[in-house]
Amino acid sequence: MDWFVAPDYWMSRLVFQRALAGVYLVAFLTAALQFRALMGERGMLPVPRFVARVPFRAAPSVFHLHYSDRFFAACAWAGCAVSAALLAGLDSVVPLWAAMLLWLVPWALYLSIVNVGQTWYSFGWESLLLEVGFLAVLLGNDEVAPPILVLFLLRWILFRVEFGAGLIKMRGDACWRKLTCLDHHHETQPMPGPLSWFFHHLPKP
């Protein structure tokens, strides 16, 4: 059985799970605060219209069973609460089955949001969070050592994201191959950050 677990990775699991819980918390908080204008009943891309034309099998979501803005808000705030509990370490003090259930709840809730989010949730980082979040369910807690297979799959996701992002850039605009894209990248990125202006004005080589 020692071939299938990696007891030395307990700290890595702890840091990973707390960081992931923090990302979940931000994601659910964002959904709770913005959904009405984006995809609420009177939003730009209303969820009721979407679930009326897209079958459950094509986009599994709890909102196929029922949708109201109040219900969406309840799901988003429930996701915030569970994420905050995971960030505080609740999964470390409960039995293994309960810890796995705690990780399953935010994954299922966020899957429900992403699958009805349409344009607003079409970015790659949404599916990445769901992939990583699903593997977090299988990581376990302090009752068991981290499974080697899950650790391998997490490394595979990391490799795939980094290598894939590089390939897409090299196949895209020639400026990436000339190493000049960052001259204007920070002007055109879809969601500039607070440091984008400073990076844009760094001295050119």
Q: Mark whether 130 and 188 lie in a shared domain.
A: no
Q: Mark whether 82 and 25 lie in a shared domain.
A: yes
Q: Mark whether 6 and 75 lie in a shared domain.
A: yes
Q: Which residues pair with 113 in a beta bridge?
A: none
What are the pLDDT tens digits along the chain (205 aa)? 566 877 888 899 999 999 999 999 999 999 999 999 999 999 999 999 999 999 999 999 999 999 999 999 999 999 999 999 999 999 999 999 999 999 999 999 999 999 999 999 988 899 999 999 999 999 999 889 899 999 999 999 999 999 988 888 888 788 888 888 877 777 777 667 788 788 778 887 7
Q: Mark whether 178 and 154 lie in a shared domain.
A: no
DSSP, res 184: T
Q: Which residues pair with 5 in a beta bridge?
A: 147
Domain interval for residue 66: 2-171
Q: Mark whether 102 and 196 lie in a shared domain.
A: no
Q: Mark whether 162 and 97 lie in a shared domain.
A: yes
Q: Mark whether 156 and 187 lie in a shared domain.
A: no
The model carries a pTM of 0.84
Tokens at 199, concatenated: 């990076």
**Total count of domains within the chain:** 2
SS3 for 5-74, per residue?
A: ECHHHHHHHHHHHHHHHHHHHHHHHHHHHHHHHHHCCCCCCCHHHHHHHCCCCCCCCHHHCCCCHHHHHH
Give the whole-angstrom CA distance, residue 148 versus residue 40. 42
User: 183 — phi, psi (to 5°)?
Assistant: -65, -30
